[in-house]
């Protein structure tokens, strides 16, 4: 059995004039996993995230968090920077200066390429990552035999830091948008929605504001979702835990 790779995804939220919106990015059509799909920023947890999670100064930001949880959160922050340009970190107790973050285009590219570590960038800028500003939202594991790669993915909510501007990288990600969950589900976003993305957009629809989405997540228990996918005469069906917060146990897997 293929072991799933640890990964983290971030649903970046902001309030708009017609309700709250989530930042979504479209993957290049040649990407091996979910090519052409509209997704949330995220990616694999790597060894640098695990090493960063061992640092006492960073562990102090979120007292009581175990090393695995902290590594997921730090990987989520790194991927958020790589894929959206947003840097959720603090200097001297204050969120990173938005104007300074906007000048870090080369650093962002270097972190994404692996020629500059996220830890070294933080040290150079005098910043401490802010894993405490992430709210756990969901936990999904890719089923066996459906996709060429499997992931063990933590989903987090995060508010966009004031003044910072989210933008896709133009390489792995070829488009991006801010959109309400309901509009995305209605097909108004520039890209197709995969099964897991659709389910999490539906879960977000229960909130009316970004703050309410956080409060709902804070009050919920995270239930691990490992879909059981079966072929039926009506098409593929996916069974999810009934208490995972998705409104039901059985879904059409192809939408």
The reported pTM is 0.94
CB 102 within 8 A of CB 165: yes
pLDDT 10s per residue in the chain (255 long)? 689 999 999 999 999 877 899 999 987 554 555 557 899 999 999 999 999 999 999 999 999 999 999 999 999 999 999 999 999 999 999 999 999 999 999 999 999 999 999 999 999 999 999 999 999 999 999 998 888 889 999 999 999 999 999 998 767 777 889 999 999 999 898 888 999 999 999 999 999 999 999 999 999 999 999 999 999 998 999 999 999 999 989 999 988
| Predicted local distance difference test score (pLDDT) of residue 30 | 45
Q: For position 242, what pLDDT does the model report?
A: 94
CA 144 to chain centre: 22
| Cβ neighbours for 243, distance < 8 A, ≥ 6 positions apart | 223
Q: How far is the C-alpha of 109 from the C-alpha of 112, rounded, in Å?
A: 5
- Give the pLDDT score at 157: 98
pLDDT of residue 221: 95
Per-residue exposure over 85-96, b if at least 16 CB sit within 10 Å of its own CB, e if not: bbbbbbeeeebb
Closest by CA position to 198, among listed 238, 152, 158:
238
CATH superfamily of 5-252: Nucleoside Triphosphate Pyrophosphohydrolase (3.90.79.10)
13: exposed, middle or buried (Cβ count in 10 Å: 0-12, 13-18, 19+):
buried
- Is 2 buried (19+), middle (13-18) or exposed (0-12) by CB count in 10 A? exposed
């Amino acid at each position: 059995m293929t072991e799933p790779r640890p990964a983290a995804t971030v649903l970046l939220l902001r309030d708009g004039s017609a309700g709250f919106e989530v930042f979504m990015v479209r993957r290049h059509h040649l990407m091996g996993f979910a090519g052409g799909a509209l997704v949330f920023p995220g990616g694999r947890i790597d060894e640098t995230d695990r090493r960063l999670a061992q640092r006492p100064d960073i562990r102090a930001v979120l007292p009581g968090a175990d090393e695995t949880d902290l590594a997921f959160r730090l990987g989520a922050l790194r991927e958020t920077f790589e894929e959206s340009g947003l840097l959720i970190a603090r200097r001297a107790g204050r969120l990173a200066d938005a104007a300074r973050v906007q000048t870090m285009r080369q650093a962002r590219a270097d972190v994404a390429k692996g020629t500059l570590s996220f830890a070294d960038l933080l040290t150079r800028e005098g910043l401490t990552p802010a894993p405490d500003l992430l709210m756990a939202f969901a936990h999904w594991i890719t089923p066996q035999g459906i996709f060429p790669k499997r992931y063990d993915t933590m989903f987090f909510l995060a508010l966009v830091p004031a003044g910072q501007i989210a933008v896709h990288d133009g390489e792995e990600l070829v488009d991006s948008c801010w959109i309400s969950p309901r509009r995305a589900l209605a097909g108004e976003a520039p890209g197709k929605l995969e099964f897991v993305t659709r389910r999490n957009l539906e879960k977000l629809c229960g909130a009316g504001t970004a703050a309410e989405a956080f409060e709902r997540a804070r009050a919920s228990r995270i239930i691990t979702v490992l879909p059981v996918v079966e072929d039926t005469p009506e098409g593929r069906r996916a069974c999810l835990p009934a208490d995972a917060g998705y409104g039901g146990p059985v879904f059409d897997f192809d939408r």
